[in-house]
Amino acid sequence: MPEAVTEAEFQLLLQRYLDGHCTPQERAVVERWYDRLDEMEGLQLPGQNQEAVEDAIWNRLATQNIPVAADTKVVQHPATWWQTPTLRVAAALVLMAVVLGLLWPTVRRTWTPAPPIATTIANGWTQQINTAQCPYGLRLPDGSRVTLHPGSSLRYPTALAGPRREVHLVGEAYFQVSKNPNRPFLVLTNQVVTTVLGTSFRVKAYRNAAHASVAVREGKVSVQTSANADLSATPKHPAATGVLLLPNQQAVYSANEPQLKKELVPQPAVLAPQPFEFEERPVAEVLTALEKAYGVDIMYDRATLAHCTVSITFYDEPLFEKLNLLCKSLGASYTLSTDAQILLHSKGCQTVPAS
């Protein structure tokens, strides 16, 4: 077979394997490569490097879920985790990355990847379609980065010139836009138009889907429905009919009700880590820490909870699970408003019997 694979491409293959995004063909190539390690007698890494690599393996497996087949039993105890075949393969990939050069000629002869992106350039426009089975990263002429999901396409003026940087999306993509206050960046879809000056966000808008959504990770994003959209609007001067989104907020469009609904994303991310250990502390202090950590607004009757204290410790639970734990300790409840706010409902200090 032609030797068309670069070392960088194979490193990307290793990462896709660890992330569970390989095709069956690619997975078979990686596992055949792993099998070849056993044939290389006497292969040793320097003791210090090997210890560091093994530490990195353990840290990764302790903090991430490695995808496994439905019939695979995963043993996570530190003394026996090497016994699980799938985890052994994943861990060995880290070691293989160190000794990539030893087996690289064999890999080049046994695998030629299919091009992950189909690119067409015509009449001053570039269109790129992700034909792979995993997300693929692109860099636009202005330096912005786009992670294009499988089956999705992105079309834009080849030079991305002009007063506005306009791209047309069908499908789903994550954007990390290079900041330029003088040249707004617009993502146009059939359902919504998203305008930013420089930030990170996700757009999901498949061609014939009944719903579309825009979720923000960093910065500010202005979103309008595509019908009669004002393309001159910006986050500094948003359209009257649009919505302005902040981190951990999203706008959802429904074809049944062609208007935008502003809400929190399903799993808000921690934006500013806070200490989450409270021993007989005012409830208001706990709620303030949650607001700062996740960039959310929590509305509650301050007078009702003014003299209430609580002892509680949060760990790595998602925001809504933290709220459930807090409400359980207070005998309270919460709801989500139509404007991305959290409403806490409480009748005051209560002693909740231990369950």
The pLDDT tens digits for 298-338 are 999 999 998 999 999 999 999 999 999 999 999 999 999 98
Q: What local confidence, expressed as pLDDT, does residue 7 receive?
A: 55
**What is the phi/psi pair of residue 320, to 5°?**
-70, -30
What is the share, in percent, of the chain residues with pLDDT greater than 70?
Answer: 67
What span, in angstroms and rounded, lies between the C-alpha atoms of 27 and 158?
Answer: 35
Please tell me if the domain spanning 117-264 has the same topology as the one spanning 277-345: no
Instruction: Provide the 8-state DSSP code for 209.
Output: -
State the chain's mean pLDDT as an integer: 78
Q: Dump pLDDT digits (tens) for 23-53.
A: 777 766 665 554 454 444 444 433 333 344 3
Question: In the predicted model, what is the mean pLDDT of residues 43-64?
Answer: 39
Q: What local confidence, expressed as pLDDT, does residue 206 receive?
A: 94
Single-letter amino acid code for the residue at 183: R
**What is the phi/psi pair of residue 284, to 5°?**
-60, -35
Grade residue 240 by pLDDT with cuts at 50, 70 and 90.
Answer: confident
Domain residue spans in the chain? 7-110, 117-264, 277-345
Question: In the predicted model, what is the mean pLDDT of residues 63-91?
Answer: 43
Annotation: CATH topology of 277-345 = Phage tail protein beta-alpha-beta fold (3.55.50)
What is the share, in percent, of the chain residues with pLDDT greater than 90?
Answer: 52
Q: Dump pLDDT digits (tens) for 247-284.
A: 999 999 998 877 899 999 999 999 999 999 999 999 99
Token representation of residue 128: 């790129």
Annotation: CATH topology of 117-264 = Jelly Rolls (2.60.120)
138 within 8 A of 148, measured Cβ to Cβ: yes
Q: What local confidence, expressed as pLDDT, does residue 57 receive?
A: 35
The sign one gets for the Cα dihedral 24, 29, 32, 37 is negative
Grade residue 234 by pLDDT with cuts at 50, 70 and 90.
Answer: confident
Determine if residue 207 is left, alpha or beta; phi over 0 gives left, psi from -120 to 50 gives alpha, anything else beta: alpha
Question: In the predicted model, what is the mean pLDDT of residues 174-195?
Answer: 94
- Could you tell me the CA-to-CA distances from 183 to 9, 48, 154, 216 in Å, in that order? 34, 50, 19, 19
Single-letter amino acid code for the residue at 269: A
